[in-house]
Amino acid sequence: MTEYYTRMGDGKRVSMTKEQIMADLQAGTADAADMGEIPALSSAEMEQLFEIIADKNRIVGVEPGHEVVLTYDIGQLDFTGDNGNSGNGVDMGRLESALLHERALGADTFELAHADYSIKPVKPIIANEMQTMEEIQNEIVAPYFYGAMPNMGLYYAPDGPYGNPADLLREFKMEESMASSEAASEHLARDIEYVSTRIIQAGADGFNFDTTASAGDADFVGTLKGVEALRKACPDAYINVGMAGESVMGIHGGMEYDGKIVAGMYPHQQVKVAEKAGADVFGPVCNTNTSKSLAWNLARSVTFIKECVKVASIPCHVNMGMGVGGIPMCETAPIDAVTRCNKAMVEIAHVDGI
């Protein structure tokens, strides 16, 4: 029986028969449909996914004319960072990195980022970031944003002024835990407004909120309120809200935005509140399960993202990297898996960008 070369979610090489791949595609889409209460992929779409996975070429792509916008997060850190934060350990300046992405790597947009890639540590050095932004804008042609994670975890002890909800819950201090989340959320919104409005005033073409809701529902609400404030202060700013995970964790459980509890929201629900807050682009995420096959993960991701694109009124640029979008969770994601997942997202989920 013919076997096809494919991957597990941790990147391990495996061979599977068509029957095995189809069974995993079925199980993956069924899991997403069940969790998100959304439609599963059709038989024709799963057959199309199988063809993409079983392609004999190491690298696959879309037909000419079907290309989508490509942009990058984490700014210059993908060159300068070490292996601990997804970088290549190649030292270079921020200007050089930006120009390399624009002129050599074909990035349609790019961004400036702080070494910690978080809102909070940018506050005390905002003047330096504003100056760098202005200098690079004088050289670069592609839209050049500022990028940072809301990363509300930095507002909790021991890094910040508010009690850590995980510690408080362990001590059965539910009310204190929830109050701490609410206070941190408000603080985050204020900091987002401070950082983002200044960097836009320095000439940034937009702001990329990366890994939103990584600290749960209060992080998401704080970011949405920050986006609201930025939209009000800078009506023409291009705002991208990208997520941390497929579901918003309920660390508080009762935080609302636009009258809706945000905990437990899946991509097709997240995009609607991002729109309401004033985002121009939404970056949906679906997480990879390292114990399942590429087929299972990809079918599941495409199911979630397809529904998100379907209901969205703004463009969706899906997050595609290690551990998301069906791509295996390993430091340097294998190119065979990366290109298959991207092709599937464009051709079946119909994303507007990657």
Residues lying near another protein in the complex (CB under 8 A):
10, 35, 166, 169-170, 172, 174, 177-178, 217, 247, 249-254, 263-264, 289-291, 329
In the bound state with another protein, the residue whose beta carbon lies nearer, of 329 and 341, is 329
Total Cβ atoms within 10 A of residue 30: 16
Residue among 204, 159, 198, 156 nearest 181 (CA)? 156
The strand pair at 260-261 and 256-257 is best described as antiparallel
In the bound state with another protein, the residue whose beta carbon lies nearer, of 202 and 255, is 255
**Min separation Cβ 181 and another protein, Å:** 9
| Structure token digits, residue 203 | 């000439």
Contact 33, 39 (CB under 8 A): yes
**Min separation Cβ 284 and another protein, Å:** 17
In the bound state with another protein, the residue whose beta carbon lies nearer, of 180 and 342, is 180
Half-sphere exposure of 164 (CA within 13 A, CB side): 10
**Min separation Cβ 250 and another protein, Å:** 2
Task: Specify the residue for token string 């509890």.
Answer: 261
**Min separation Cβ 173 and another protein, Å:** 9
**Min separation Cβ 265 and another protein, Å:** 9
**Min separation Cβ 288 and another protein, Å:** 10
Strands (E), the chain: 3-7, 13-17, 110-118, 144-149, 206-212, 238-243, 256-257, 260-261, 281-283
In the bound state with another protein, the residue whose beta carbon lies nearer, of 170 and 232, is 170
Distances, alpha carbon 45 to alpha carbons 180, 282, 306, 329, 353, in Å = 45, 24, 11, 24, 20
**Min separation Cβ 253 and another protein, Å:** 4
CA 246 to chain CA mean position, Å: 9
**Min separation Cβ 248 and another protein, Å:** 9
Please work out, in degrees rounded to the nearest 5, the angle formed at the alpha carbon of residue 235 by the alpha carbons of 223 and 246.
Answer: 30
In the bound state with another protein, the residue whose beta carbon lies nearer, of 206 and 245, is 245
Q: What's the CA gap between 169 and 342, in Å, rounded?
A: 40
**Min separation Cβ 133 and another protein, Å:** 34
Burial class (CB in 10 A: 0-12, 13-18, 19+), 210: buried
- Range list of H helices, 234-266: none
Q: What's the CA gap between 287 and 244, in Å, rounded?
A: 9
The strand pair at 206-212 and 3-7 is best described as unpaired
